[in-house]
Structure 1
């Protein structure tokens, strides 16, 4: 049995340390790195550095055995017990065994005494006479501390000439003049980032441990390990044992368990006790700052410790030039597990300390993250209110931002601030009633504080009150919103201007609340201006949900006021904002969809109206908002009326909803009057308009129409005489008044006057293509237009291109009743009058009466023409 050669100190030299390590099974030959080693061998030095398990030794060994080195390879593996003298003894023995250097030379070894210089000179001189270059691989250079070994290697790099190429592997940069070697072009470096596995390389490694994994599994594990070789291999072994690669890739905990023992033994346990304590305590952080680490440890040396960890490739990395550091996510998970397992009571205290540190640095989001993680809800709520985060709470989704942080806050947290935060979160989910209840609690607590209540808390309370209850409770409408908006503005002057500058959504929300109050009072022009102010306040820093709501409200105000083109544009913009930024359904306002339904209804686009109305009804908050609920009911009623279903039209207006201010109640009354009047009861149509405290232009016009239908034309004209020029007259009102006067003139036989007034109505409605007043006016409009004076404009009876439901066809000027549609359906089946009578259990004369009405309403002279018109209008 051979005896190991002795070192200069009499100790045996282990042959295993002079052997190239065996390459493990399933090795991934990474050609990009092997080629870099080969290219680097043209110079004197290649340095491979990286953290534990990065694959440094495996890479060097696979290259040494690949045949790519320019000459014979001498391999030396170093251990922590080795001294510089022993290291050089191994180097000389390696060259001797490879028959590359003669025996003999000066005694001793570098670093062992005075003969070290002479041995290095002899060694460098001997290398010059080698018949071919040799490669010396020193694996684990960081395990031998001090400068002695590095000084000797520096001498060889500078004096050995082209006969020697050094390959050094180390977790840290050696004490060599690397900056000089870089400048001279004599250094090839392979760093930790280079050693990280690419997804393609990771797929090869994982495939060596079972069936080839899918791309998502590979991507997930590569992302989680950040390409760390040992982590990937340990995960591959764990996947092989589990048999479910996809489930393993989804579980971060499984990845942590797979690498925990390795990281504990190779990284954490290798650190001094104080460093281990710093790593464990800072594991509650996503990023580590030296000042914050000092606050969590009670020491003042975190900067030096973190820099050393970076230098030692101990899974800690600097984040650019920010002064912050990050820990490898798997290592961070292991550290967090250590904290949970050994000191579970410490984590809340660490989070509280971190929250105060971040707050002092004015990093409010991070402060809230740690305050809520600590369960310190009073402090978190107080911070959110002090920093005026009400807009972010209202607009942010539950999955991100301040709203998500407070999702788990209990309902019994004391303090006005906690009540205000809960109120904001209720309102963000369109729960205005819940918001008002919590505002009541907050108000009582603020009143109890008296003068000690800060301006931020009072401002938050006032703003939420404006947004949750913009219409008032006693029919005061816009006056309530105006008072509350002024109160918000006054309180805004009492908080630091710098804070308001950081929260531009406060101003946008103030205008938005005012605009909604004005809208609820029917002051549409003022509402549009207030919505415009809110939109101008929506800078790029304002949450997208606020802009979405403002655009939707503006579109609804425009649609109700007759500005249909602008309403459609702003409503479309509102939906684009919601879709582009992924607003959740429970955070979307129904106003935009409702505005599009209003536009389609005014243009008599029945299918489009129904489509947008159904989308609006699927969104939260519609039934709690008096204005939105009213418009929904009105649109439903109009849809039923267009189908001739009078009872259903009235029933749609009677569904239970929120308490209504005066103007929405008046709109319901006007819609009910139209439904009753279509049924042929002008007296009842006038009676439903007899509401206390109402007197808007739309109501006046509706009342005049009822009187005209009852044959009281003079009274109808007297009613509308002052209304056309009234401040509250919208486009639809003005058009209806002209039509009413035209109809009255026609009834008195003054056809020229009727034609002139009809022409005026058409001219007024044309820019917005407002069709509904003409549709609801009755068949006399079509009859008058048939005379050619005024000529029927193309926009009034459009024939748009076919849509998904077929051709939209012309506009139906007067809707068919339910029985008339049944008769028309029988005609389409080519049934005779007698057959229709038997089918519908009617008399033949009644069938003939219905047919005459169908022909008149459809503008048809024959059965075939009536059927064709019915199909064009989707009545069949």
Structure 2
């Protein structure tokens, strides 16, 4: 025998050892037979070679079978020589002296002697037969079957083959003496692929690694060929979707190792069915025109393992992704008209079987405008409600803008897609086109669809009055619109404050959408329920629902939709209330591009909240001036649009707070005036008035302003505003020297904050209140004590600087300190006496803990008391 035939192959360079598979082979030592079945290039030989070399020992015999082993005498000569080369066969064992007869197949005495000699071994010998599929001659195959039937007790057979071996294995399976390792087990995982890339010096991001595994389906040969292609550049920005079709090494391997081994009719058959990701025998028959399609699929599956069954009944088959990619690209190159025809055939078949997604996809590939239009009219609305936006948009693009403009239904479908992409301006244009093409007797579908588009558009503009008006036109018929109609009505009820009715309607919409398989409407319902939870102060439920929606958006590929922006906005809001400001900023930034990509004039409702949260987080984390300015800019961009009370309250409260802390009395006043117009006599307005009065040193006026909130006479729009009110009341009481009142108010604030699981107001409470809280540690009760410890942990993590309680006049003086003006000149600018200026300066120095003007400026900048406006002042 040639030496390489019996030698264990040397594993390839940059070998990725796969412990999970080596363990399988270790356990297989106790079984009579181990069968590894997988297609060419799956890594069977590499795995076995790694196992033999890593486990050491010379008791394992190896035979690399090839077509020459169809000679019966050569086959048995190889087996005996391989066994006798191991330490498992003693020198006196008959195997070493057995002569291979001229016709082993017919010499039953020889076969019996082999079996007896194997039984006499002192310990089990392992014999690996690699590439068993190469042996097709019935004579050596019969000899192998003989060994399997007689099962020598001291022989462990490991067989590797590309396709199902026709061997007597049933009895071994029943006796649990057979270990089977299939193609699925040999597929590289994402982690193993990462190791392979690292060993080759190739850097890919997590998404690219996952995409590579998806394209190759973890096929070892495909992955190794990919590393060769990528190693030239060392880094790939993104692999093309048609990697197999464009990579010469991959296509050559597929042709040489797979396709060239199949008859011409099988290759033609595979090329025809490559149009589809998955085929049934019926569809394969339709595509190929062959009545024996089922039998042919089964034969190819057995011979290559690159076509495999996807159901136990054998009615569904898939061609391996790389092979299909190559075949399809070759078909399109060689016969584009036939490819288009096959796509039409597939589209018709899927449409007949009520499978809209593949039907529409294949119709788009066929470029048959009439058929595309027909299928869109039949399926598009349902697909959009289920979230197949990208598919519908792709097919609409095939038709072109002209076809959409002249078709009312397609224009409305296009409008729905533009809205979910965050582009209401384009949706309005589509709505105009639909109106222009409106038929004299519109169908029920058309009327219902227009109602949904109008309501959704009103939601984006933030026009509450318009939303209420157009909601009256929403229709729940035909049946496919019922869930969406319930959702839109519920959303409108939420916007006008009818929460119980809104919850009932949106919950019904969610259940109906799930029952009808309308995934996108179900996620929209989840998001709306999360907003309801937020309005009612159940922030834990809000985060749970928003997280579920966010996960579903990620799973279904809806990460760049309006719903994804809503979910991120809610998650950012939840993080803000937990004082997780980095998390707040992360989610707000994720939502911002989805908001900003639309027309600013029609995305203000969502933009107002997103920018408010971004600004508030930036204010506390990094740049106080920029954060405050972002909130103000968001408010100014709203114009006279009427938003929900919650959106207005959040912006007003946070803008007023940041402006007050920075001593920007004018900006604080503007925020208060705006709040008085949009949310008059709310708890938030009273809170802002009280804060303004206290900043001027008017504690009695501040106390009176906040009392109506504490008494429940001024309703809170934001549930956590009541926490702010009690904390401010505690601050007022401390300034008046009433410690008992201050402690009582602080206790009320903590009780509500703990119940709502809201940390932000307490974490950023005034220094005096924080000092009081510190003094009360150990006296608050077990539950409250744990909550307060979390508050202080957050303060430490955020490195909250102690705020400086400067009066309005002291802040005015402070803003002029960085200039070169003398105290007399500052007094003249502020129309006060020089002595008054000096008094204010001494107070500023004391509060900042400094003794010099230069140090006061430096500390004020560090604590955010002097921001960008300093430059303009000087």
- Give the shorter-chain TM-score range: 0.5 to 0.7
Structural mapping, 1:54-133, within 5 Å: 54=42, 77-79=66-68, 87-91=71-75, 109=103, 119-127=106-114
Structural mapping, 1:83-232, within 5 Å: 87-91=71-75, 109=103, 119-127=106-114, 142=133, 150-151=141-142, 153-155=144-146, 157-158=148-149, 170-184=161-175, 191-192=182-183, 225=216, 228=219, 230-231=221-222
Which residue of structure 2 lines up, in the alignment, with residue 693 of structure 1?
A: none
Q: 1:612 to 1:782 in 2, by over 3 A?
A: farther
- The separation in 2 between residues aligned to 1:434 and 1:301, in whole angstroms, is 51
Q: CA deviation at 1:436?
A: 1.9
- The separation in 1 between residues aligned to 2:431 and 2:837, in whole angstroms, is 59
The higher radius of gyration belongs to: 1
What is the CA deviation profile of residues 715-755 of structure 1, one whole-angstrom value per residue up to 9, with x for unaligned ones? xxxxxxxxxxxxxx75568999999xxxxxx9xxxx9x999
Q: CA deviation at 1:438?
A: 0.5
Q: 1:529 to 1:395 in 2, by over 3 A?
A: farther
Q: CA deviation at 1:423?
A: 0.7
* 1:526 and 2:474 matched: no
Which residue of structure 1 lines up, in the alignment, with residue 458 of structure 2?
A: 469
Which residue of structure 1 lines up, in the alignment, with residue 474 of structure 2?
A: 488
* 1:587 and 2:562 matched: yes
**Which of the numbers 825, 845, 849 marks the counterpart of 1:838?**
825
What is the CA deviation profile of residues 640-687 of structure 1, one whole-angstrom value per residue up to 9, with x for unaligned ones? xxx9xxxx99x97996767747999xx99xx9xx99xx99xx9x9xxx
Which residue of structure 1 lines up, in the alignment, with residue 780 of structure 2?
A: none
Which residue of structure 2 lines up, in the alignment, with residue 368 of structure 1?
A: 360
SS state of the match for residue 525, structure 1? coil
Q: TM-score, normalised by structure 2?
A: 0.63
SS state of the match for residue 107, structure 2? helix
Q: 1:435 to 1:319 in 2, by over 3 A?
A: same
**Which of the numbers 389, 397, 400 marks the counterpart of 1:410?**
400
Which residue of structure 2 lines up, in the alignment, with residue 358 of structure 1?
A: 350
SS state of the match for residue 402, structure 2? coil
Q: TM-score, normalised by structure 1?
A: 0.63
Which residue of structure 1 lines up, in the alignment, with residue 490 of structure 2?
A: 511
* 1:537 and 2:485 matched: no
- The separation in 2 between residues aligned to 1:320 and 1:60, in whole angstroms, is 30
| 8 Å Cα contact 2:827/2:833 also seen in 1 | no
Q: CA deviation at 1:263?
A: 2.0
What is the CA deviation profile of residues 174-219 of structure 1, one whole-angstrom value per residue up to 9, with x for unaligned ones? 4332202333466565554566678999899999xx9666697999
| 8 Å Cα contact 1:386/1:456 also seen in 2 | no
Which residue of structure 2 lines up, in the alignment, with residue 715 of structure 1?
A: none
Larger CA deviation: 404-413 vs 457-466:
404-413
- The separation in 1 between residues aligned to 2:173 and 2:832, in whole angstroms, is 107
* 1:426 and 2:418 matched: yes
* 1:309 and 2:300 matched: yes
Q: 1:373 to 1:393 in 2, by over 3 A?
A: farther
Structural mapping, 1:577-616, within 5 Å: 578=550, 581=553, 584=559, 587=562
Structural mapping, 1:598-637, within 5 Å: 619-620=595-596, 623-624=601-602
| 8 Å Cα contact 1:141/1:168 also seen in 2 | yes
Larger CA deviation: 27-36 vs 230-239:
27-36
| 8 Å Cα contact 2:11/2:50 also seen in 1 | no
* 1:20 and 2:12 matched: no
Unpaired runs of 5+ residues, structure 2, are: 85-94, 617-623, 660-664, 692-697, 750-760, 771-791, 850-855, 867-874
Q: 1:786 to 1:236 in 2, by over 3 A?
A: closer
SS state of the match for residue 824, structure 2? helix
| 8 Å Cα contact 1:384/1:390 also seen in 2 | no
Q: CA deviation at 1:378?
A: 6.6
Q: 1:77 to 1:129 in 2, by over 3 A?
A: same
Which residue of structure 2 lines up, in the alignment, with residue 6 of structure 1?
A: none
Q: CA deviation at 1:96?
A: 9.9
**Which of the numbers 436, 443, 450 marks the counterpart of 2:428?**
436
| 8 Å Cα contact 2:37/2:161 also seen in 1 | yes
What is the CA deviation profile of residues 351-402 of structure 1, one whole-angstrom value per residue up to 9, with x for unaligned ones? 333333333333333333333344456755665664464784697786xx75
What is the CA deviation profile of residues 479-528 of structure 1, one whole-angstrom value per residue up to 9, with x for unaligned ones? x6456434323xx2333xxx468xx455323422x347xx4xxxx43378
Unpaired runs of 5+ residues, structure 1, are: 1-14, 111-115, 690-696, 703-728, 740-745, 856-860
SS state of the match for residue 460, structure 1? helix
CA-atom RMSD in angstroms: 6.8
